[in-house]
């Protein structure tokens, strides 16, 4: 009898320890996120080509439940609602910490030529504005993430680009751009942006002084009336108490206000700061901002390059759940008549509840 009781206890102990261990390593759920993102070439004293981009975004808190709005949207990305085979195909298998989020964003992008004139300037970037409302789904675990965003919007006068630029230039006492009457015509736009993230464990290191490094890589594929393109890139960070953040977050493609990976560290300092470097390349089959509108005829202004590169650097500061990031990103020439590559300043504010 004693031997039987001991055997039963020995059999039950591993189960208890496994359950306790699972509870200890399970990543905490994340709160909802709001963010403001600004991209502008005036940070470097310029004002042409891609001249301004602004986004206000919100992401829900994470959930591992299937029967939620996040779970339903995340099915196509390999979320908890997906079949085992589809989840495996989407790279979301093999992790107990599968998380899902959804979000909304309002984005305005603005483009102008290199010279000011009241008449159309061919061989230079056309005037273009695009105002979009985006719906984002994000499915992630500790090492991978899938992001899918549907953007619906409008070009032309309904994009409010002319009024936005006029207001900002008047506020700061800057010279106005007089050629918005020649902007590309107004039409409805629709685009899908997909991005797959990979956490690069080999570059993730921690040192006794609190100094850390981490890195991510990604590839993306976009299709619609605005962009038909594919590409990839990589970001590397170095600093103190990095926390669960990511500097790779351009608003000109698939992005989300929330970090792209599940974070299972239970104790992180209230403050942190870091520097980052970033590099990317993309192959472009269609670009509305250079090729013209799809359903309404528009003049041909420029001939675009089929491949565009981008690289940049910057720094970020985090205090508790709030983060500020500033960087400079450089883009190679996007069309054959462009005078030189372009530099854009990036400012991002984010808070997690």
CATH of domain 32-352: 2.40.128.140
Low-confidence spans in the chain with pLDDT less than 50 = 1-24
For residue range 231-241, list pLDDT tens digits in order: 999 999 999 99
For residue range 295-349, list pLDDT tens digits in order: 999 999 999 999 999 999 999 999 999 999 999 999 999 999 999 999 999 999 9
Whole-prediction pTM value?
A: 0.90
Q: Which two tokens stand for residue 220?
A: 């993306």
Q: Among candidates 111, 109, 123, 107, which has minimal Cα distance to 46? A: 111
**Rg value, the chain, Cα:** 23
What's residue 25's pLDDT? 61
CA 204 to chain centre: 21
Q: Among candidates 133, 158, 125, which has minimal Cα distance to 58? A: 133
Give the separation between CA 326 and CA 331, rounded to whole angstroms.
Answer: 17
Give the separation between CA 282 and CA 304, rounded to whole angstroms.
Answer: 13
What's residue 266's pLDDT? 63
């Amino acid at each position: 009898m004693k031997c039987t009781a001991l055997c039963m206890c020995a059999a039950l102990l591993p189960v208890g320890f496994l359950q306790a261990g699972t509870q200890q390593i399970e990543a905490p759920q994340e709160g909802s996120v709001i963010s403001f993102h600004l991209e502008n070439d005036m940070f470097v004293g310029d004002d042409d080509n891609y001249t301004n981009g602004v986004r206000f975004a919100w992401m829900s808190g994470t959930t591992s439940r299937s029967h939620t709005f996040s779970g339903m949207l995340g099915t196509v990305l390999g979320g908890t609602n997906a079949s085992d085979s589809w989840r495996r195909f989407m790279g979301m298998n093999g992790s107990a910490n599968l998380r899902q989020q959804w979000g909304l964003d309002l984005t305005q992008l603005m483009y102008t030529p290199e010279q000011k004139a009241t008449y159309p300037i061919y061989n230079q970037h056309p005037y273009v504005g695009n105002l979009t409302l985006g719906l984002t789904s994000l499915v992630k675990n500790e090492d991978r993430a899938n992001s899918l965003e549907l953007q619906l919007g409008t070009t032309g006068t309904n994009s409010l680009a002319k009024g936005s630029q006029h207001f900002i230039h008047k506020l700061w006492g800057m010279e106005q751009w007089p050629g918005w009457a020649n902007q590309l015509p107004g039409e409805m736009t629709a685009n899908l942006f997909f991005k797959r993230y990979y956490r690069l464990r080999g570059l993730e290191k921690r040192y006794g002084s609190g100094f850390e490094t981490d890195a991510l890589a990604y590839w993306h594929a976009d299709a619609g009336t605005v962009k038909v393109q594919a590409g990839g890139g990589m970001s590397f960070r170095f600093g103190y108490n990095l926390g669960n953040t990511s500097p790779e977050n351009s608003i000109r493609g698939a992005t989300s206000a929330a970090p792209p990976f599940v974070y299972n560290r239970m104790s992180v300092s209230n403050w942190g700061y870091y520097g980052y470097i970033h590099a990317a390349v993309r192959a472009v089959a269609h670009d509305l901002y250079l090729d013209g509108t799809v359903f309404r005829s528009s003049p041909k202004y420029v001939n675009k390059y089929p491949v565009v590169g981008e690289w940049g650097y910057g720094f970020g500061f985090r205090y508790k759940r709030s983060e500020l990031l500033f960087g400079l990103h450089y883009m190679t020439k996007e069309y054959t008549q462009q005078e030189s590559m372009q530099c854009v300043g990036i400012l991002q504010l984010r808070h997690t509840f």
